[in-house]
Amino acid sequence: MDPAKLKAATTYNAAADHFDDGPLAFWDRYGRRTIERLQLKPGSVVLDVGCGSGASAIPAGKIVGPDGRVIGVDLAERLLAMARAKATAQKLENIEFRQADMETLGYPDASFDAVVCVFAIFFVPDMVKQVKELWRMVRPGGQHAIATWGLRMFEPGSAAWWAAVKQFRPDLHAAFNPWERIVTPQSVSQLLTDSGIREAEITAEDARQVLQSPDDWWTVVQGSGYRWTLEQMDDETIARVRDMNLETLRNHDTRSIETNVIYATATKT
Ligand SMILES: C[S@@+](CC[C@H](N)C(=O)[O-])C[C@H]1O[C@@H](n2cnc3c(N)ncnc32)[C@H](O)[C@@H]1O
């Protein structure tokens, strides 16, 4: 596996132990809202790439019903196992969760009524090539939806986290964070235009995730992309980073973090 994919798979397999915890309810919320923005119908066939633990695939499966079908693909087998368990618990037999790389799916042209990618497009080095590839698989009249993080993801938790990382592991501080590649409606719009999608509806939605306590923030760190940075640290360093990070949040009486989202939806004519 190439290093970027190994990094994504390692991060999210590790994060699986907290990915579905309460303070990370935003995965389910934005997955569901991305699906609500589409015109899915009973019988529709949907592809969800970077599907994680099923935040968008499961609501899609409910709408398309037994005559429809959803294929969810992800690199992280542990998240896929959680997704399968949730689908089974909800008696959804129309969703197939596959371990696969979204860059090499190769389904025929026009295979899907909708192709969905929530918080995952930025992991692929060539985003334009990837969006072209996803668009190719949308049938005429079908739809493509992308969701990405907006500006100030997880602030002020994020700034306090990176300050603590800088203090104890400065070598990890300036690391490349894929989700920072595309954080404005303009950049999402440009990505779609560069990919040959002429008309798209782009909506930026500012929102917050409530934290019941500073500990909730640490759950977010463990269940999100920050897990990669944590995985590079020994236990003693993790404890120091955690203490400094949470003390900052306590001192500022932080009760929520920003979870701003950008949704893009396009219909193929
Ligand atoms: C931030 S998570 C979002 C998961 C889910 N869409 C959600 O919103 O809850 C990003 C997901 O993209 C997956 N991913 C990253 N690169 C991928 C690739 N090349 N092919 C398939 N999945 C990939 C990761 O394994 C991870 O599960």
Tell me: the pLDDT tens digits for 93-104? 999 999 999 999
End-to-end CA gap in the chain: 36
DSSP letter assigned to residue 108: P
**Structure-token pair, residue 179:** 């989700």
- CA–CA distance, 210 with 218 (Å, rounded to integer): 13
Among the atoms of ligand 1, which is closest to the Cα of residue 19? 9
Q: Quote the ligand 1 centre to 256 CA distance (angstroms).
A: 24
Contact 259, 217 (CB under 8 A): no
Residue 144: the pLDDT is 98
Residue 247: the pLDDT is 98
Tell me: the pLDDT tens digits for 206-244? 999 999 999 999 999 999 999 999 999 999 999 999 999
pTM for the whole thing? 0.97
- CA–CA distance, 78 with 82 (Å, rounded to integer): 6
Tokens 């990176």 belong to 162
Tell me: the pLDDT tens digits for 140-161? 999 999 999 999 999 999 999 9
Q: Would you say residue 3 has pLDDT above 90? A: no
Around ligand 1, the residues with Cβ closer than 6 Å are: 5, 8-9, 12, 27, 31, 49-52, 55-56, 73-76, 79, 101-103, 118-120, 123-124, 225
Among 2, 73, 74, name the best residue to mutate to test ligand 1's pocket (greatest count of ligand atoms within 8 A of Cβ): 74
